[in-house]
Amino acid sequence: MYETLVVEKEGKIAIVKINRPDKLNALNSKVIEELELVFSGLKNDPEVLVIILTGVGEKAFSAGADISGFPELDPIKAKEFALKGQRVFSLVENLGKPVIAAVNGYALGGGCELAMACTIRIASENAKFGQPEVNLGIIPGYGGTQRLPRLVGKGRALELILTGRTIDAQEAYSIGLVSKVVPLDKLMEEARSLANLLLTKGPIALKLAIEAVNRGLEVSLEEGLRIEADLFGLSCATEDQKEGARAFLEKRKPEFKGR
Ligand code: COA
């Protein structure tokens, strides 16, 4: 039981919802702590292969870090605050399992940063994205200055971060911040259908693909290609690789075991 999250399991899919709708699912220290706890558990849970992350209610995925604690921040506390959130978001990014952000409303500041740490983002038509920190006299501290340019390019990221402008779901789609936009009442259906599609793939292949992309983006092309070759080699050490090839040749659907 969590104070600030709702966690449900549907077969091999876990659905994690941030549950502070009266505060637009703002991320206070309890939410960050519980996200760390839940995602650490899901990382090691062999029964769960895909995660959907969303917000309770129809208004917000998360309106960002909880501003009520900001007046007390001093430089040392603020650095710890940033490092803690960054650690939890990096856990989500490198979970070894796909995490689908189903963005059901505001994803501002830390909410946008959390969505960006997820593997794939889909949004409802009413979703809104932005990094409004400059309006509070601060800069993003949960990865926004790093993940936003990696996702949408330096120019667009700087424009969004420096203006603090909020963009709608269509604009987020047009700059590549989200992969798909659907009506709000179809969002979870779409997220489940994507999760179910991912469940038909080899889980180790998904894990290694995520690792190849995440690590590869941080190094030179030459090094990234080497990482890819190494992980490609590793993927061929699995039973799933044999099954995938055999199933294709036998014209049937593969039955991946995650081994
Ligand atoms: N931290 C703490 N509380 C927040 C919050 C945040 N990031 N975002 C919203 N809330 C709270 C509001 O204070 C309000 O609480 P109250 O009812 O006790 O007064 C409640 O959530 C509802 O928000 P409200 O502002 O009344 O809703 P709105 O529809 O008028 O506006 C937003 C929605 C998202 C535009 C507005 O809430 C907002 O600008 N939030 C802050 C976004 C932000 O700067 N995030 C980055 C933080 S670094």
| pLDDT tens readout for residues 106-145 | 999 999 999 999 999 999 999 999 999 999 999 999 999 9
Catalytic (active site) residue 218: no
207 CA to centre of ligand 1 in angstroms: 36
Average pLDDT over residues 44-62: 98
Q: Pick the catalytic residue: 36, 113, 189, 218?
A: 113
Structure tokens of 234?
């590793």
Confidence bin at 82 (pLDDT 50/70/90): very high
Residue-level pLDDT at 1: 87
Q: Average pLDDT for residues 45-70, to the nearest whole number?
A: 97
**Binding-site residues, ligand 1, Cβ < 6 A:** 23-24, 26, 63-68, 106, 108-109, 132-133, 136
Q: In what order do the strands lie in the sheet with 50-55?
A: 5-10, 13-18, 50-55, 99-103, 120-124, 180-182
Residue position matching structure tokens 């706890």: 37
Percent of the chain whose pLDDT exceeds 90: 99
Torsion of CA 156, 94, 14, 253, to 10 degrees: 100
Is 90 exceeded by the pLDDT of residue 217? Answer: yes
- 51: CA distance to ligand 1 center in Å? 26
Collapsed DSSP state (helix, strand, coil) of residue 7: strand
Q: Token pair of 111, please?
A: 């909410």
3-state secondary structure of 102: strand
pTM here? 0.97
Q: What is the residue-averaged pLDDT of the chain? A: 97
Task: Indicate the Cα dihedral angle 27, 32, 38, 42, nearest 10°.
Answer: 100
Q: Which of 4, 20, 24 to mutate to test the pocket of ligand 1 (most atoms within 8 A of CB)?
A: 24
* Percent of the chain residues topping a pLDDT of 70: 100
Domain ranges of the chain: 5-199, 203-249
What single-letter amino acid sits at 69?
G
CB–CB of 147/116 below 8 Å? Answer: yes
* Closest C-alpha residue for ligand 1 atom 30: 24
Known catalytic membership, residue 222:
no
- Please give the CATH superfamily to which domain 5-199 belongs: 2-enoyl-CoA Hydratase; Chain A, domain 1 (3.90.226.10)
Q: Which top CATH class is 203-249?
A: mainly alpha
- Other beta carbons within 10 angstroms of residue 78's beta carbon come to 14
What DSSP assignment string belongs to 129-196?
Answer: EE-GGGGGT----SSHHHHHHHHH-HHHHHHHHHH---EEHHHHHHTTS-SEEE-GGGHHHHHHHHHH
Centre of ligand 1 from the C-alpha of residue 172, in Å: 21
User: pLDDT confidence of 24, banded at 50, 70, 90?
Assistant: very high
Residue 253 in this model has a pLDDT that exceeds 90: yes
